[in-house]
Amino acid sequence: MRRPNVGIDRRSFLKVSAFGAGGVLIGLQMEPEAKAQGRGAPAAPPDPHAYIKVAADGTVTIMAKNPEVGQGIRTMLPMLIAEELDVDWKSVKIEQTDFDDTKYAQQSAGGSTGTPNNWTPMRQVGAGGRAMFITAAAQTWKVPEAECTTTSGRVLHQASNRSLGYGELAATVATLPAPAPASLKFKDPKDYKIIGHSQTGTDVGAIVTGKAIFNIDVVVPGMQYAVFEKCGVFGGKVVTSNIEDIKKLPGVKNAFVIERPDITDAVLPGDPGLENGIAILADTWWHAQSARKQLKVEWNEGSRAQYSSVAYAQKAGELSKQAPQREIRKDGDPDGTLKGAAKVIEAAYSYPFIAHAPLEPQNCTANFKDGKVEIWTNSQTPANGRRMVMQTLGLKDNEITVHMVRGGGGFGRRLYNDYMVEAAYISKQAGVPVKLVWSREDDMTHDYYRPGGFQYLKAGLDGSGKVVAWRNHFISYGEGERFVASGAMGPTEFPQRFVPNYALNASVMPLGIRTGALRAPSSNAFAFVIQSFIDELAHAAGKDPVEFRLALLDSSAPVVQQGAAQPAPAGGRGGGPPGMNAERMKGVMHLVAEKSGWGKRTLPKGTAMGVAFHFSHQGYFAEVAEVKVDSANKVKINKIWVAADVGSQIINPSAADNIVQGGVIDGLSEMMSQEITIEKGRIVQTNYNTHGMVRLAQSPPVIEVHYLKSTYSPTGLGEPALPPILPAVSNAIFTATGKRIRQLPLSKSGFSWA
């Protein structure tokens, strides 16, 4: 196995060697200033010295600051820097940074925030670097900076026909201060050579040849492999065990009971950090896992052992017949308008808990030594992970070093850092470096699940088929007025603002498992419900589903809100200000209808098209699915069309298509067979055979992606492509079969992949 460099502090290494033979890391002079600012994110704009280093031969190395879990951020952020730095992409090398909040801000991956958060700052890094090379050349030639230009990593002085490569100027640049933000000038987009042009991912070559180091590949000297047995019921405690027998098994080095520390301050809302359980350490993971199978443990399972999915569904049915526990939003007079509506449509929708199930299970390597801990992690939120380790182990932030290593998928699971705390704690207790690796069963049964939920909808149409009233009794999980993590529906969720008489009410049930964000959190369930119900309304009105949606988007108007108003988050997931822009959504609806030939094609019996749109994570997506369903309810996706508006630039087109297509396929996996159920407080599904992924043969042969460029700053793609595919497919199934899908997964309604 391959081993990363672990014997020397990275910052010390850079101080000593910089870039070897004549090269210079821009910014070696800047460390004292960064330290003076104290720990915490540096002030914007970021300092080019921390991001760029140039070798004497002109090779440019750009630091990638964010965690890479397959979304392509390790390539995309350096692209922004390289474009404004004005270097040839072929001369660029990319290096992953450690987590270091004295130099880098927002080192996280989640919420499709990588692009919007870094679009301007990373271009500022590149533009600032380019300005410093111009300054260095102008000083060398003793000419005005205004007379100097750059191209492909060289500074030009056309008046004297002189030029200098960045490598020749690197030593001078290292002594210069970063330029003032107001002085920076960005390129005209028409001159882009890197942004907007497809670039191969920096890790692709290593991945396809098996050379890439994922976090699960990390090896450090002297480490032992660890497994961690936890109770199947969340929060259960060890009563008795046979760990003394386990210690005598082949290859086993140690075994001990772990009790969750009593931490006065909450670690993070919804995140338990370290759980109770038994750690086993061995020479190999196989030895540790084999020994684990011989564990005999008596657990105190606690009160959570009473919960079950059947009981939850029964309770939801009871709550639906009662007055809602609280009002989230009320506009106009929904009840009165429903009484006078020409047509009233009611429907009950439900969707299950699902697991993240990334291909790489949770894992972490930690080495606690001399009161400090060094950690190798694929966390999406290393800052939060460090904070949890600080609190659990009683350390200070500067006593924890966090190395960020590529993760094999995240989808929101690696936002939560329980595995990181476990590895650090086990290493401290055992006194040796530890590589903790979860089994697939651990990963499936100790997740932060996408919350299931129930929605009881009622809508009214006037005589012309216009939606005049909408009421939703949303039943989720929580206590009092507090929803579980990712289990809330906000007051601006579509179609709020587009229906004059709107009511959103909620009731909650206590939950015995933990929940969290999963790719396009909330939206991945809400789009299915809302866009499927809108399709029901379109058919009830006798309207074309595309035209019906466009008319609904035309109906936006200011409303007088009553009840418990809550401000919408900027760029929120719902449809209220300052969220969804109706004109942008209409644009992608027109585009997807055009590209799919909506209403212009004659399809064979059993084949139909379905449409849906959704706004989430600042992205506007509309999707059409062409679906064939045979007499045995076998479903085949013939083709999918995607139309998206994520702003003025598609930074890396090939990567953008890839992540959009991946989101669509991820959504198809959710549709057919993914479901987490609970019996006696325990998760029933333990592996992919019971929580399936869509297979290659079941995937649509074509997912056609189109972008509608707008004047807005670019936003992310990791999440907003997923939500519309679920209702688009379910709506197509209805048109093909007459069977309306109101619960997921589809397998519960008798459907399966062809």
Distance CA 214, CA 738 (A): 47
Q: What is the predicted pLDDT for the residue at 574? A: 43
Nearest to 427 by CA among 220, 213, 240: 220
Domain annotation for the chain: domains and CATH numbers: 10-202 (3.30.365.10), 215-302+362-437 (3.30.365.10), 310-354+449-753 (3.30.365.10)
**pLDDT at 571 exceeding the cut of 70:** no
In this structure, are residues 281 and 252 in contact, taking their beta carbons and an 8 Å threshold?
yes
Q: What is the predicted pLDDT for the residue at 23? A: 42
Q: What is the predicted pLDDT for the residue at 556? A: 75
Q: What is the predicted pLDDT for the residue at 273? A: 79
Of 94-103, 506-515, 559-568, least confident by mean pLDDT is 559-568
Angle made by CA atoms 353, 354, 355, in degrees to the nearest 5 = 135
Q: pTM value?
A: 0.92
Beta strands, E only, 11-58 = 24-25, 52-54
| Torsion angle, alpha carbons of 114, 116, 122, 127, to 10 | 160
Question: pLDDT-derived band of residue 212, with 50, 70 and 90 as boundaries?
Answer: confident
475-496: pLDDT as tens digits: 999 999 999 999 999 999 999 9
Span 450-464, average pLDDT: 98
Span 46-61, average pLDDT: 95
Two tokens, residue 555: 């109906």
**pLDDT at 445 exceeding the cut of 90:** yes
Q: What is the predicted pLDDT for the residue at 258? A: 96
Write the DSSP string, 461-519: E-TTS-EEEEEEEEEEEEETTEEPTT----TT-TTBTTBSEEEEEEEEE--SS-B---S
Q: What is the predicted pLDDT for the residue at 260? A: 86
Nearest to 289 by CA among 444, 437, 418, 430: 437
275-307: pLDDT as tens digits: 999 999 999 999 999 999 999 999 999 999 999
Question: pLDDT-derived band of residue 557, with 50, 70 and 90 as boundaries?
Answer: low
130-169: pLDDT as tens digits: 999 999 999 999 999 999 999 999 999 999 999 999 999 9
**pLDDT at 616 exceeding the cut of 90:** yes
**pLDDT at 32 exceeding the cut of 60:** no
Span 407-426, average pLDDT: 97
Nearest to 414 by CA among 450, 448, 451: 448
**pLDDT at 17 exceeding the cut of 50:** no
- Specify the higher pLDDT residue, 572 or 613: 613
**pLDDT at 414 exceeding the cut of 70:** yes
In whole numbers, what is the pLDDT of the chain averaged over residues? 91
Write the DSSP string, 73-94: HHHHHHHHHHHHHT--GGGEEE
**pLDDT at 672 exceeding the cut of 60:** yes
Q: What is the predicted pLDDT for the residue at 191? A: 97
**pLDDT at 19 exceeding the cut of 80:** no
In this structure, are residues 467 and 552 in contact, taking their beta carbons and an 8 Å threshold?
yes
Span 308-326, average pLDDT: 98
- Specify the higher pLDDT residue, 577 or 753: 753
